[in-house]
Structure 1
Amino acid sequence: MEGENGDSKQSQDDDTSLAGLVVNSKEYQAVAMTVFIRNIRRHNWRAVKELIDAADRNPENPPRFIALALPFACIEAAPSVVIDDLIYLHPDSPSTPDNHGIYPLHLICRRGASLKAVQYVYEGYPDAIEKQDDFCKSTPLHAAIKQDASIDVVKFLLSKFKDGALKEDKTHWNTPLHAAISERASLLIMTLLAETVPEACVSRNADGKTPLHLAVEEKDPHEVVDLLLKIEPGAANIKDQYKRTPLQLAFDLKQSPYVLTKLSQAADMLSGENGKNGCIIS
């Protein structure tokens, strides 16, 4: 197990001193990037910190690898001190996407990084929180949920961009709540999303499915169905593109009697409130 400061075993080719080469010399630049990225990928954070500290002695002209290092550090969920140092030495790095339009904030949200590390990357370029990358077509909030990020990270992202809970990806038109259910995120995260923006409970994706439709498709969805019906009972009467309400879908999938009863009760309640035909949204 590696600690926050990095205690993984260091192999002989993890050369943190770079054989005494002068920082920014041609010889140094030729090998520094390879050594640096190798240590990042091995989670040898102590060696990474030594290389950063060496670069920090010349902050006006940091080595070229510093400008390219943040995405690699985010992918490997580097400790917050490493993230902070890299941004300090190259402040533009959080605002620089890769060839797929993926920003460092997307990357670090995918990797279960600490809240502090996510905050540093966000503060380096707040606009990234609203960006949809060109590869997965999703926001940093989608990315965090798909990787079962901590509840603190999800709370932070929502606090900075509440409307992100309604932002649909451009592939399946899933909101973060759709993603949370499909990816079987924790009930805490589903509850946070649903309670923060209740409208997300009735949002429909490319198949016309609400989060409640997706919940019905899962095994043993009792708690999720209870949650969604409690927050937005109207979801029980919304039809997908195949003209199925969640109750009809549940019958087709032979869901448990508990789920069928809860959906039936919700539909009956809505029917009583809105007249004989109910309020069916198709």
Structure 2
Amino acid sequence: FQPPLDVTNTVVRLFPHMVAARDHSSRVPMHVAVECEAPLDVFNCLMESDPRCAEARDSDGKTPLMLACKEMGSAMQSGFYDGKGKVRWLADVIKFLAKSSPNSILVEDDGGRTALEHALDSEAPRKTIKTLQRATRQAAREQGELERHEHLRKMKGHCHVRKGEDIRSLLPRESGLVMKSTSISRVVAEGA
């Protein structure tokens, strides 16, 4: 079922909570859009209404991005004329979801597999694999920066009330940070 975009827009506008509604398999409309090969405009409409819908997990722990990656295998095995259009559509959906929902790129399903692993298993085209690898690298980098920022924020709080030895114990050995004094402004990268 592929409703026209104006119908999708109207339904989303009238019932915005339905974008996050779940069915018996815990799927949200974004999952169904993948399964029904909805136009990219429908994905965009759903994302604009509620960006979290791309991170929703079904009863198997799969995000819409994982479903698209997994579906690539059957599309590749379809005949040339049947599969070529679907492979192109899936590649566009995968690129859209990876860009629009970078948090979903690192999520693992109930089997412990990421979207990239599903794409590799389905023998997705090289270009799609490269897109997912870049998105995975970027998401991991951003997640690492957020974790490092949070760790430094906690250290700053400790600097106001604790002694240097306590602060040293907060520095992970692999962080590359060296304590020059008890002031947070003196914690610097190794070799700096």
> Normalised by the shorter chain, which TM-score bucket?
0.5 to 0.7
1:241 is aligned to: 110
Residue 223 of structure 1: aligned partner: 92
Q: Give the structure with higher Rg (CA).
A: 1
Taking the aligned partners of 2:40 and 2:143, their CA distance within structure 1 comes to 31
**TM-score, structure 1 length as denominator?**
0.44
Relative contact order (C-alpha < 8 Å, sep 6+): which is higher? Answer: 2
- The counterpart of 1:184, out of the listed 33, 37, 52, is 37
Please report how far the alpha carbon of residue 268 of structure 1 lies from its aligned counterpart in structure 2 after TM superposition: 0.8
How far off is 1:234 after superposition? 1.3
Structure 1 CA distance for aligned equivalents of residues 99 and 143 of structure 2: 18
Deviations 1:233-263 (A, max 9, x none): 1111011111000011111111111111111
Length-normalised TM-score, structure 2: 0.64
Q: Which residue identity is paired with 1:274?
A: Q
Rounded to whole Å, the distance in 1 between the matches of 2:19 and 2:9 is: 11
2:130 paired residue number = 261
Aligned mate of 1:251, from 96, 114, 120: 120
Q: Counterpart in 2 of 1:154?
A: 8
Query: SS where residue 140 of structure 2 aligns?
Result: helix
Greater share of residues in helix: 2
SS of aligned partner of 1:216? helix
Match of 2:49 among 171, 196, 199: 196
Aligned residues: 130
RMSD of aligned Cα (Å): 1.6
Query: For residues 149 and 256 of structure 1, what CA distance do their matches in structure 2 show?
Result: 29
For the residues of structure 2 that align with 1:273 and 1:178, how far apart are their CA atoms? 26
The ranges of structure 1 where at least 4 consecutive aligned residues each deviate by more than 6 angstroms after the TM superposition are none
CA distance in 2, matches of 1:271, 1:190: 24
Partner secondary structure for residue 275 of structure 1 = helix
Q: Is there any run of 5+ residues in structure 1 with no aligned partner, and where?
A: 1-146
Specify the alignment match of 1:169 in structure 2.
23
Deviations 1:25-83 (A, max 9, x none): xxxxxxxxxxxxxxxxxxxxxxxxxxxxxxxxxxxxxxxxxxxxxxxxxxxxxxxxxxx
Question: Partners of 1:148 and 1:275 in 2: how far apart?
Answer: 39
| Percent sequence identity over aligned pairs | 28
Distance 1:166 1:207 in 2: 17
